[in-house]
Amino acid sequence: MSDTHTPEQRKRNMQAIKSRSKLEDRVCKELWKKGIRYRKNVKKLKGTPDLAIQKHKVVIFIDSCFFHCCPLHGNMPKNNREYWERKLNRNIERDVEISKWYIEKNWNILRVWEHEIKEDFLLTVDKLITFIEESKKSNHKEKKH
């Protein structure tokens, strides 16, 4: 992070990071409770997915509304505008590139927004479980052919 940020901006960055990881923890705990076994922050997989089940070729990313420019809550900071534009645009490009990479390799990739978890925790957890179950099934079918 550049040193030229104002203290307020630095505080906001920290809050954005903390808020997202808190939600991630909540989701992870709930999935674990429901019997889903996964790995967290898998560095050897492209883009370091927040959750991954390699056996079933499943990767899940939980995107921060700020750092990934959610269409509803993303906002461009006024200070250091150039820095942020470059940084946030690079994040968006990387997200697209990572998603494409997994799709091309027949992985099952799901991105959820931080706000989805905030707004309806249980619904989002259900969505993740459905996605994981469907992915398991589709991999199974592939192997049979």
Window of 14-22, 65-73, 83-91, 132-140 that interacts with Zn ion by CB under 5 A: 65-73
Window of 18-26, 33-41, 49-57, 110-118 that interacts with Zn ion by CB under 5 A: 110-118
142 CB-side CA count, 13 A: 12
Using rule CB under 5 A, residue 122 touches Zn ion: no
- Which DSSP symbol is given to 5? S
Using rule CB under 5 A, residue 58 touches Zn ion: no
- Residue among 115, 118, 127, 136 that touches Zn ion (CB under 5 A): 115
Instruction: Name residue, tokens 């203290």.
Output: 7
- Residue among 16, 28, 69, 70 that touches Zn ion (CB under 5 A): 70
Using rule CB under 5 A, residue 111 touches Zn ion: no
Window of 30-38, 45-53, 79-87, 107-115 that interacts with Zn ion by CB under 5 A: 107-115
**How far is 1 from 30, CA to CA, in rounded Å?**
32
Window of 3-11, 27-35, 62-70, 137-145 that interacts with Zn ion by CB under 5 A: 62-70
**How far is 64 from 23, CA to CA, in rounded Å?**
10
Residue 59 pairs with which residues in a beta bridge?
52, 109
The least distance separating Zn ion from the CB of residue 115, rounded to whole angstroms, comes to 3
**How far is 112 from 127, CA to CA, in rounded Å?**
9
Q: What angle do CA 73, 75, 81 make, to 5 degrees?
A: 170
**How far is 49 from 42, CA to CA, in rounded Å?**
6
- Residue among 60, 65, 88, 128 that touches Zn ion (CB under 5 A): 65
Interface residue list for Zn ion (CB under 5 A):
65, 70, 72-73, 113, 115
